[in-house]
Amino acid sequence: MTQWSRLGPKKRRSNFLGVLGHINMDVVYRVLRLPAPGTSINAESVAILFGGTAGNIGVHASALGVATALGSYIGDDAGAVIYDTLRRTSIDLYDVILSTGERTPRCHVFDDGEEQSYVIEQGAMSSSRKLPLWEHAVKDSSIVHVGTGDPSRYEIAVSGRDYNFDPGQEIGYRYDKATFRRLISGCKIFFTNETEMKVALKLLSIDREREITRYCGTTIRTAGGRGTHVISSDGIRDVRPCPVANAVDTIGAGDSFRAGFYAALYRKHDIVTAVEYGNAMAAISISGSGGSGRTTDWETLHGKWKANYS
């Protein structure tokens, strides 16, 4: 029988945001260019950093004053890079499950400064059927964000309630047509980027982005320096990007975008304005290094938004 424990007690009876997904040890290889198939390249540097889609969103959202809970599985080898980062925050860690004898998920990131390639070692996230579901992060949160992880677990965990869907880079290998249709059909907001959108259209057997509104209320597609597109039954709204003063790396930019977006929803802003805040948060985050990048508070984020969008 799998031995497990919780990383922390319930900090709050309820939270605004519950995020389900990975908490990783990111092994980041800085390279001059991404290697072509069948070739090798020298690593300019290697660093082990805190990361993971759920972890990054949680760290940023918590810093922005959003009451946030995480639902994730990690191994007992997590170490200070994860423990210290999480315990410096106000994140509710009750549903971060530590599995004895398992390895913490590792994401091997090959980064040339503009683009990244990834190799995921799932670790404890791959044996999740032996571990408890994240009831507090789901049932006691106003918004549930379903990120990377086992689709079959998510179908059970969020059954009967509203949620937002964000399969990320795993859309290409963890989802078949049937599973993807079931999860996207039940969601309020679908988060994606340009590359992932192409896979989503193929899984749904449709040709145009507007057709995705048959399955979910709103789709938010990020496009890096070209801004963000909000796709709904009313049409496609383009939201211009926020200028970046000093980009260090773009790892985790999408996760910080989501945190900024939710921080704006928490303060009762509409979806388009929340996307603007998301763009502003991504611009701030990539001035730091690693998946969690540079964190900031709401006052600073609001100032960035005001300077570029108001």
Q: Give the span between the Cα atoms of 301 and 295, in whole angstroms.
A: 10
Distances (CA, A) of 226 to 34, 71, 240: 22, 32, 7
Residue numbers in the chain where pLDDT is lower than 70 = 1, 127-129, 247-250, 288-293
Domain boundaries, the chain: 4-303
Q: How many residues does the chain have?
A: 310
95-118 pLDDT, tens digit per residue, is 999 999 999 999 998 988 778 888
Burial 119-152 (b: 16+ CB within 10 A, else e): ebebbbbebbeebebbebbbebbebbbbbbbbbe
Q: For residue 245, how many other CB atoms are within 10 A of its CB?
A: 8
Residue type, 33: R
Q: Give the span between the Cα atoms of 246 and 35, in whole angstroms.
A: 26
Distances (CA, A) of 271 to 3, 76, 184, 230, 232: 42, 39, 19, 8, 11
Architecture of domain 4-303: 3-Layer(aba) Sandwich (3.40)
